[in-house]
Every structure is written in structure tokens, then in C-alpha cells.
Amino acid sequence: AAIFGGTCENVKALADFCYLNIMEDKLNNVEALWHDESHLNKYFWLHKPTKLLSPEYCWDLIIHDESDILIKRLVWAPKEYEKVRT
């Protein structure tokens, strides 16, 4: 998820959920390659969002043709895997 939000209570619940699950993984010597995304995906699987934004809020120029959408409100920056996973 590139953008998520809500009330303070909802965002804190999401952050607490991810933190507690990451700590549980550490106790079990487990770490997902992108643990933030793994735990976010699980959170949203268990707690369905009430509003989904259109693709213009997370546009990936590499995957999508620029002509597919008129307004790009947020353009995704590619991860530099070799830098962040060393």
C-alpha cells in the first residue's frame, strides 16, 4: 500500500498490528523479504478498507501506459532493491 489513512485510532491500530506481527516474526526467526507489505496485506485482508482510491493515487509509469489516465495524483517511485536489501 502506498497510501493509507483514516482516523487516528484506525491508523494506530494498523501500525500496532504490523509492529506486533513483525516482533512475533523476530521471536520465531522469520522475516519476510518485504515484511511491511506482508503485514499490511494481512491487516487489510482481515480488516477490509471502507474506501479504495482509484489508480491515479498510485500510478506506476513502468507498468501502465501514460495515456491510460488523465490525472496522475501520485506517481510511484521504483524500489532500488540492490540498495535497500544489502
Instruction: Report how far residue 7's alpha carbon sits from residue 1's, in angstroms, rounded to the nearest whole number.
Output: 17
- 16 belongs to an annotated ligand binding site: no
Among the listed residues 9, 24, 31, 37, the single catalytic one is 37
- 60 belongs to an annotated ligand binding site: yes
Cβ-contact 2, 12 below 8 angstroms: no
SS3 24: helix
Q: Is residue 37 annotated as part of the catalytic site, yes or no?
A: yes
CA dihedral for 41, 65, 81, 11, sign (positive or negative): negative
Residue ranges at the known binding site: 37, 60
Positions annotated as catalytic residues are 37
